[in-house]
Amino acid sequence: MSRLKSVGLQDKALQDCTFENDKGFNPEMDRARAYVERWEEMLESNTGLLLWGDVGTGKTFFAGCIANALIERGVPVLMTNFARILNTLTDLRSEERNRFIDEMNEYPLLILDDLGIERNSEFALEQVFNVVDSRYRSGQPLIVTTNLTLSELKNPADLAHARIYDRVLERCVPLKINNRNIRKDNAKVQMERARALFAAKA
Ligand SMILES: Nc1ncnc2c1ncn2[C@@H]1O[C@H](COP(=O)(O)OP(=O)(O)O)[C@@H](O)[C@H]1O
Ligand SMILES: [Mg+2]
């Protein structure tokens, strides 16, 4: 289990994204629980999720909760993000890239954080397409998070974006995470604490 966690959750901070740590900010969290409860069905029907909404609203936390809960049930989950994937692919020789992408499909659930950073680089667009298309063809579920709006995903600027987003939209049920900005709230609390601390010392 701890091996599944350390390999599958590529960012250490994700280990804290658990239902136990849910502070109830996000009214959509019951959908995350439902996804875990009905995992066998999701797998069978190749149903993924598309978590979209503004920054700081809890998309990564939501997806991380699913990852942790399924890993605790012994399901291998890989959660990573597009920035990391692009960095890795940039460093790999082209013949090694396919193997790296294939390895991601050894996981019955793949979670890719932050779709949309590929924006206008041709290399990035091609690699993101390869990752998404390869997952699509593997017939296994994919969960994606993005700061793009559903309307941006449905009305892509060009064919290069369309062929990525069309595949995501075909397999991933869109779910709007429409919270207040929790990150900003947290930062504000911290700033107030720091202010109080320094005020006391002054
Ligand atoms: N339901 C929740 N319970 C407790 N903390 C949360 C919850 N949702 C988000 N957070 C915290 O709020 C901050 C922003 O959430 P994050 O998931 O990173 O947002 P996003 O991925 O949408 O930008 C993070 O510090 C995260 O841990
Ligand atoms: Mg995020």
Per residue in 132-172, pLDDT (tens digit) is 999 999 999 999 999 999 999 999 999 999 999 999 999 99
Domain ranges of the chain: 2-201
Q: Specify whether the CB–CB gap between 46 and 172 falls below 8 A.
A: no
- 26 C-alpha to center of ligand 2: Å? 14
Q: Does the beta carbon of 29 lie inside 6 Å of ligand 1?
A: yes
Q: Does the beta carbon of 81 lie inside 6 Å of ligand 1?
A: no
Give the pLDDT of residue 162. 96
Ligand nearest to the CA of 114: 2
- Is the model's pTM score more than 0.85? yes
What number is the average pLDDT over the span 14-19? 97
96 pLDDT more than 90: yes
Q: Which atom of ligand 1 is nearest to the CA of 54?
A: 22
pLDDT category, 180, cuts 50, 70, 90? confident
Question: Which CATH superfamily is 2-201 part of?
Answer: P-loop containing nucleotide triphosphate hydrolases (3.40.50.300)
Q: Does the beta carbon of 146 lie inside 6 Å of ligand 1?
A: no
Query: How big is the chain, counted in residues?
Result: 202
Give the pLDDT of residue 189. 85
Whose CA is closest to 81, among 179, 13, 28?
13
Q: Does the beta carbon of 76 lie inside 6 Å of ligand 1?
A: no
